[in-house]
């Protein structure tokens, strides 16, 4: 406030009404109300009720769309369906429906707030000169009074329909955002029997069925299995799991190559190359054939590069290197955990390579609890 103005004492401030405090505060702050017109000078008119209903309708729409978003998130079919299979139409709509319902909720909430300001708040134009320095006690009290006055003149206290509908919209919207952010975490990744279990990968055998190593030929419908002689010494290739029961199941065939825990790097070392095996995993290889998860234990990129001279597997994302001659132990870069090894052998009946079992530890980034 200017130095020429007299600052009321504490006792005098306590005596002043809210309107007087507002007027004094505005004057002290050099605020000039150039225009102030109440939208509805007489409360409770039909016109005002109509305006209130219009604003409340936007908030109600926001709440309904928020509820729809929750419903879609929880109940819409969202497990992967291959194109042209039963249910793929609804699966394809899952992500668009999430976007449409959440977008509509945000849009309606925003329009409701704008409509409230345009239709119900007083039409006011205020001009204030800015000045430096901290706030005095007088400034603080008058500012609080101005805020309280804004709350009172906004009509929110008596327009219950608005406060309730806006509260419902904001509540549902907040709930939706919370569910969206945390919903994916609401499951126990260590729960046995859960298909998303981190300790059960696509290499797990059900009912003792053989799990073959299948080549990556770029077409999920085409199954090409691997025999030991298919790989030259020093060679390597990416393989995926395959079970005979899946041969005519298009969905399972595609899922087999799309599962993030499926890719495995099959490496054939040169004869006589000296190898250090991991304790307890001495028989996981089949002769010179070693199979390691391709999922980098740093942040999960595919470790796609193999340098046969040095026996190093390289991850292109942050340059972690794993030593295949020493149970794929990390020797450079940010990864701290060895690549899990898949136990393999040759099926005596068919001559193809098969997995002797699933990985015995979680594959991928090292932040999951280790089993061993
Ligand atoms: S993900 Fe492989 S080094 Fe970071």
**195-204 tens-digit pLDDT:** 445 678 889 8
Print burial letters for 1-40: b (CB count within 10 Å at least 16), e (below 16): beeeeeebeeeebeebeeeebbbbbbebbeeeeeeeeeeb
Sole residue written with tokens 């990968």:
201
pLDDT at position 134 over 50: yes
> What is the band of 368 on the pLDDT scale with cuts at 50, 70, 90?
low
Nearest CA to 311 out of 236, 252, 238, 366 is that of: 236
Task: Tell me if 320 sits within 8 A of 303, measured CB to CB.
Answer: yes
Atom of ligand 1 nearest to the CA of 334: 3
Over residues 246-260, the mean pLDDT reads 83
**Number of Cβ atoms within 10 Å of the Cβ of 321:** 19
pLDDT at position 9 over 70: yes
CB distance 297 to ligand 1 below 6 Å: no
Q: Whose CA is closest to atom 4 on ligand 1?
A: 318
**Pocket mutation for ligand 1, best pick of 335, 338, 365 (most atoms within 8 Å of C-beta):** 335
Task: Tell me if 292 sits within 8 A of 265, measured CB to CB.
Answer: yes
Nearest CA to 295 out of 267, 323, 253, 335 is that of: 335
**135-177 tens-digit pLDDT:** 888 888 988 898 888 887 777 777 788 888 888 888 887 887 7
**Pocket mutation for ligand 1, best pick of 315, 339, 363, 365 (most atoms within 8 Å of C-beta):** 315
Q: Which residues pair with 276 in a beta bridge?
A: 326
Q: Which residue has the higher pLDDT, 155 or 284?
A: 284
**Number of Cβ atoms within 10 Å of the Cβ of 293:** 26
| Nearest-angstrom CA–CA distance, 303 and 130 | 60
pLDDT at position 230 over 70: yes
Nearest CA to 27 out of 151, 122, 127, 125 is that of: 127
C-alpha separations of 41 from 122, 123, 270 in Å: 9, 12, 92
| Nearest-angstrom CA–CA distance, 120 and 51 | 7
Nearest CA to 52 out of 42, 44, 63 is that of: 44
pLDDT on residue 86: 73
> What is the band of 281 on the pLDDT scale with cuts at 50, 70, 90?
very high
Alpha-carbon torsion (248, 252, 258, 260), positive or negative = negative
CB distance 335 to ligand 1 below 6 Å: yes
Over residues 104-117, the mean pLDDT reads 94
Atom of ligand 1 nearest to the CA of 303: 2
Least confident of 246-255, 277-286, 342-351: 246-255
| Nearest-angstrom CA–CA distance, 370 and 348 | 33
Domain spans of the chain, in order of start: 38-128, 195-355
**324-359 tens-digit pLDDT:** 999 999 999 999 899 999 999 999 999 999 999 999
pLDDT at position 220 over 50: yes
Query: Crossing angle for the helix pair 160-182 and 88-119, nearest 10 degrees?
Result: 140
pLDDT at position 372 over 50: no
pLDDT at position 97 over 90: yes
CB distance 113 to ligand 1 below 6 Å: no
CATH topology of domain 195-355: Rieske Iron-sulfur Protein (2.102.10)
Sole residue written with tokens 């994916």:
184
pLDDT on residue 176: 75
pLDDT on residue 184: 64
SS3 category, 102: helix
pLDDT on residue 172: 82
Please return the burial class of 88, using the count of CB atoms within 10 Å of its CB with bins 0-12, 13-18 and 19+. Answer: middle
């Amino acid at each position: 406030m200017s130095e020429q103005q007299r600052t009321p004492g504490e006792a005098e401030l306590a005596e002043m009404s809210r309107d007087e405090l507002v007027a004094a505060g505005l004057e002290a702050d050099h605020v000039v109300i150039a225009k102030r017109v109440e939208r509805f000078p007489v409360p409770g008119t039909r016109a005002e009720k109509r305006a209130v209903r219009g604003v409340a309708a936007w908030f109600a729409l926001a709440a309904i769309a928020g509820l729809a978003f929750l419903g879609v998130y929880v109940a819409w079919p969202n497990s992967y369906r291959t194109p042209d299979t039963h249910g793929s139409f609804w699966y394809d709509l899952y992500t668009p429906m999430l976007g449409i319902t959440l977008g509509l909720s945000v849009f309606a909430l925003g329009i409701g707030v704008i409509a409230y300001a345009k239709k119900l708040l007083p039409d006011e134009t205020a001009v204030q000169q800015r000045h430096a320095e901290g706030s005095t006690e007088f400034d603080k009290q008058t500012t609080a009074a101005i805020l309280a006055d804004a709350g009172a003149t906004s009509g929110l206290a008596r327009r219950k329909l608005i406060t309730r509908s806006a509260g419902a919209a904001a509540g549902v919207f907040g709930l939706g955002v919370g569910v969206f952010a945390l919903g994916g975490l609401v499951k126990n990744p260590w729960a046995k029997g859960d298909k998303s279990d981190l300790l059960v990968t696509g290499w797990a055998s059900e009912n003792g069925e053989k799990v073959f190593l299948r080549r990556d030929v770029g077409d999920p419908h085409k199954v090409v299995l691997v025999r030991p002689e298919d790989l030259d010494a020093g060679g390597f290739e990416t393989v995926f799991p395959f079970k005979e029961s899946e041969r005519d199941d298009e969905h399972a065939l595609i899922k087999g190559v799309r599962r993030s825990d499926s890719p495995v790097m099959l490496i054939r070392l040169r004869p006589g190359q000296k190898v250090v095996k991991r304790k307890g995993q001495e028989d996981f290889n089949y002769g010179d054939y070693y199979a390691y998860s391709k999922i980098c234990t740093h942040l999960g990129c595919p470790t796609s590069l193999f340098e046969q001279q040095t026996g190093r597997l390289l991850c292109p994302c942050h340059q972690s290197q794993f030593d295949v001659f020493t149970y794929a132990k990390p020797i450079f870069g940010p990864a701290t955990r060895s690549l899990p090894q898949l136990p393999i052998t040759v099926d005596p009946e068919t001559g193809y390579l098969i997995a002797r079992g699933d990985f015995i530890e979680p594959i991928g980034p090292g932040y999951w609890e280790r089993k061993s």
